[in-house]
Amino acid sequence: MGGGMLDKFFRLSEHDTTVGTEVLAGLTTFLTMAYIIFVNPSILAKAGMDQNAVFVATCVAAAIGTLIMGLYANYPVAMAPGMGLNAFFTFGVVGGMGHTWQVALGAVFLSGLIFLGLSILPVREWIINSIPKSLKLAIGAGIGLFLGMIGFQSAGLTVDHPATLVDVGKLTQPTVLLAALGFVLAVVLSVRKVPGALILSILIVAAIGWITGLATFNGIAAMPPDPSPTFLQMDVKGAMDVALISVIFAFLFVDLFDTAGTLVAVGLRAKLIGEDGKLPRLDRALIADSTATVAGAVMGTSTTTSYIESIAGINAGGRTGLTAVTTGILFLAALFLAPLATSIPAFATAPALIFVACLMVQGLADLEWDDLTEVAPAVITAIAMPFTFKIADAIGMGFIAFAVIKLATGKSDQINAAVWTIAAAAVAKFIWL
């Protein structure tokens, strides 16, 4: 396909961009979010999954979702397994609730199918607009705190304590110091706007670990690993158990609103939002996202979602789906980096979790802090996630708190049908499940 055909297909001239600019933007987006190909396999491996197979699933799911987003929706948005949802998958569903990773994948698959159905039907906008802004912000921030807790544990900064549940780890351990160095590097490089700041910090810390013997270097490139240990391994029948309803809901709910929030943020930055204040081709973007989640579950990874890191590519000039297509192709090329991915130690990826947590918690700044009926349910939702290690239950607590507080303070008119429904479902879940 020549430059003229690319211009026509992606409407480059209409968006005042060029092939060169779009390709550079796609590379920038990839470098900004490539850390996921190292972090996601290390997290899901703790659920008992084959790390090499998850690496393949991560790259393929990211590529499929990103390519669909670029070719079908013509959005400069990249996709990959979501941070936070992968932790919920491992530490919440598998570790906390005791389900197998195959059942957890089945729950992800079902949530993706439901999301796909909602993306096709007009009900999607009703759902997105019905959830209170304060709870949307709280869910994002809560997942950030959840990630931060896991990052602290992986770094050795937090350890178990029989009396207080948590305690400070041994801060003089070399691996703890390297994790701290990685976090500082990530922040400094990001502030200085160095492309790929997060992945650079991971590689620098990992390299120090290899040199000092604290980690094992397995090489850089090789043929892609065997995906069969996780491919088509989802247990859909097992995921249909009534006890998994809240889990499927959590995967669906977080993916839906994370995607909606990301698309709005990206749309504003890329000037894609129309005069009516709406995003064009929103249905196509949501279909791309939900299809990626289904494909990811089939390959063997947790929920795939749109990445806010796409803004890095937009800042580099990306305006159309060609940016996403470039990023998707690079994810396919990354399949040959499996030895490097398995060489990255936990103390090198832990800082990435803490760094992402810092970004996600920023959403709380947009709360209406003068209205305690908005703040209290939001804070309950946010702090319940790291303290209970159950995203679904934390969301349920937040909706119950919102409904009860609004009702008790004479503001029942601010409780819509969606909130009542979710709050009632949460109450039923806590009573009977």
The pLDDT, as a whole number, for residue 128 is: 63
What 3-state class would DSSP assign to 322?
helix
**Rounded Cα gap, residues 70 and 67, in angstroms:** 5
Residue 127 has a pLDDT of: 67
pLDDT value at residue 129: 64
Are residues 406 and 132 in contact, defined by beta-carbon separation less than 8 angstroms? no
Residue 208's pLDDT is what?
96
Q: Over the stretch 122-134, which tens digit does the pLDDT of each residue have? A: 676 666 667 788 8
> pLDDT below 50 — which residues of the chain?
1
Structure token pair of residue 98:
């005791």
Reported as a single tens digit per residue, the pLDDT across 34-59 is: 888 888 998 899 999 998 999 999 99
Report the C-alpha gap between 374 and 402 in whole angstroms.
Answer: 7
The answer to whether 306 and 56 are in contact (CB under 8 A) is: no
Q: Looking up tokens 């005042």, which residue turns up?
A: 16
- Give CA–CA dist 400/421, Å, rounded: 10
The C-alpha atoms of residue 307 and residue 258 are separated, in whole angstroms, by: 9
* Rounded Cα distance, 303 and 109, in Å: 8
- pLDDT, position 1: 44
Kindly report the pTM of this predicted structure.
Answer: 0.76
